C-alpha cells in the first residue's frame, strides 16, 4: 500500500507539472498497466506503466523513467524524447509499446533504467491505444476533431521481428478507443457504439463475435474473469463467463 501511495504521488506531481488539459481526460487518466513482473494493471489508454521496479510515464513528447527500488524515495533516472502527440504507453515483458497520434514506438527494457528505441510503425494521424503479445500488436486509430485523420480502424501489426513491425490487417470500426486481450479474445471499446468482442484464434484476422451495447465504452481492463470498463459517466464491472457471456455486476457513477 505504501508503494502504491508513493507511485500515485509521483504521478500526481508529474501531471501537475505538465499542466495537462482536463478536457481530454478520457484518454489521459487511466491507470498503470501490467507487464512482466509489474505491480499494477490498467487499460490501453494509460499514460503510465509499471514494469518490475520502474515506473514509466509519458507526456506529449517525452518518456520519463523512475526507479521504485526504494518506494519511499522514487528516483527519476532520466527522460528521452519519443515524438510528438504521444498518447499511450503499454508494457509487455521486456518491451514498451508507445502510441502517438501518428505512430507506434517500441522500446527495449533490456536496461530498464534507460529504455532504448527499437522500432516504430508510422500510420495515419489518429489516436492510438496499443495492446501486444509476443508476436502481434493491436492498435486502434480513431479520427476525430482532436486527433485528426480520416480513418477509424483496428490495425494489426506483426512484431515477431521487433526491429521491423509490419502492418498485416486493418479492420474498419466506427469509433474505436481502448482495448484489451484475454486468451483468444480481443475486447475493443467502440465509444457510443458499445464494445466489440473479437475471436483472435486467427490473430491477424479478428472475427467479430458479438457486440456489447447499452454504454459508451472508452477503455477496458481484464483480470481473470473480471472486466472493468471505463464508460461515460463512470465505471462498469462485468464478469466473463462461458460461451462469451458478459454479465454486468455493478456500475459506479462519477
Strand partners, 246: 240
| Distance (Å, whole) CA 117 – CA 111 | 11
Confidence of residue 79 (pLDDT cuts 50, 70, 90): very high
Nearest by Cα to 49 from 69, 70, 63: 63
| Distance (Å, whole) CA 18 – CA 173 | 32
CA atoms within 13 A on the CB side of 185: 20
String of b and e for 201-221 (b: at least 16 CB within 10 Å)? eebeebeeeeebeebbbbbbb
Q: What share of the chain is helix, strand, coil (3-state, %, to 5)?
A: 10, 50, 40
Nearest by Cα to 133 from 98, 110, 101, 157: 157
The residue with cell 528516483 is 75
- Percent of the chain topping pLDDT 70: 76
What global pTM score does this model have?
0.70
Summary mean pLDDT of the chain: 80
Paired sense of beta strands 48-51 and 33-34, if any = parallel
pLDDT at position 27: 36
Domain count, the chain: 1
Give backbone dihedrals phi and psi of 11, rounded to 5 degrees, phi first.
Answer: -65, -40
pLDDT digits (tens, 9 = 90+) for 141-171: 888 656 656 788 999 999 988 888 899 999 9
**Contact indicator for 90, 221 with CB cutoff of 8 Å:** no
Query: Which residue range(s) make up the domain with 233?
Result: 2-253
Q: What's the whole-number mean pLDDT along residues 187-203?
A: 96
Residue 80 pLDDT > 60, yes or no? yes
pLDDT at position 21: 37
Q: Within a 10 A sphere around the Cβ of 81, how many other Cβ atoms?
A: 10
Give the CATH number for residue 118: 2.130.10.10
Cell numbers for 48, please give them.
503510465
Q: How far is CA 160 from the centre of its chain?
A: 19
Amino acid at each position: 500500500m505504501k508503494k502504491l501511495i508513493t507511485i500515485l504521488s509521483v504521478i500526481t506531481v508529474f501531471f501537475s507539472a505538465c499542466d495537462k488539459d482536463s478536457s481530454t481526460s478520457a484518454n489521459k487518466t487511466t491507470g498503470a498497466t501490467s507487464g512482466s513482473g509489474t505491480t499494477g494493471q490498467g487499460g490501453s489508454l494509460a499514460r503510465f506503466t509499471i514494469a518490475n521496479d520502474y515506473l514509466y510515464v509519458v507526456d506529449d513528447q517525452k518518456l520519463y523513467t523512475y526507479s521504485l527500488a526504494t518506494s519511499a524515495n522514487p528516483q527519476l533516472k532520466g527522460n528521452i524524447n519519443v515524438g510528438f502527440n504521444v498518447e499511450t504507453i503499454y508494457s509487455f515483458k521486456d518491451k514498451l509499446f508507445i502510441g502517438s497520434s501518428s505512430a507506434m514506438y517500441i522500446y527495449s527494457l533490456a536496461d530498464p533504467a534507460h529504455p532504448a528505441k527499437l522500432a516504430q510503425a508510422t500510420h495515419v494521424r489518429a489516436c492510438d491505444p496499443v495492446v501486444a503479445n509476443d508476436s502481434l500488436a493491436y492498435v486502434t486509430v480513431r479520427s476525430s476533431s482532436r486527433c485528426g485523420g480520416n480513418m477509424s480502424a483496428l490495425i494489426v501489426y506483426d512484431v515477431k521481428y521487433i526491429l521491423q513491425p509490419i502492418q498485416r490487417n486493418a479492420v474498419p470500426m466506427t469509433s474505436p478507443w481502448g482495448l484489451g486481450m484475454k486468451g483468444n479474445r480481443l475486447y475493443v471499446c467502440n465509444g457510443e457504439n458499445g464494445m466489440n468482442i473479437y475471436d483472435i484464434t486467427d490473430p491477424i484476422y479478428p472475427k467479430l463475435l458479438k457486440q456489447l451495447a447499452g454504454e459508451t465504452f472508452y477503455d477496458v481492463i481484464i483480470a481473470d474473469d473480471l472486466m472493468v470498463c471505463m464508460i461515460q459517466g463512470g465505471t462498469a464491472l462485468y464478469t466473463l463467463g462461458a460461451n462469451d457471456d458478459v454479465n454486468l455486476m455493478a456500475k459506479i457513477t462519477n
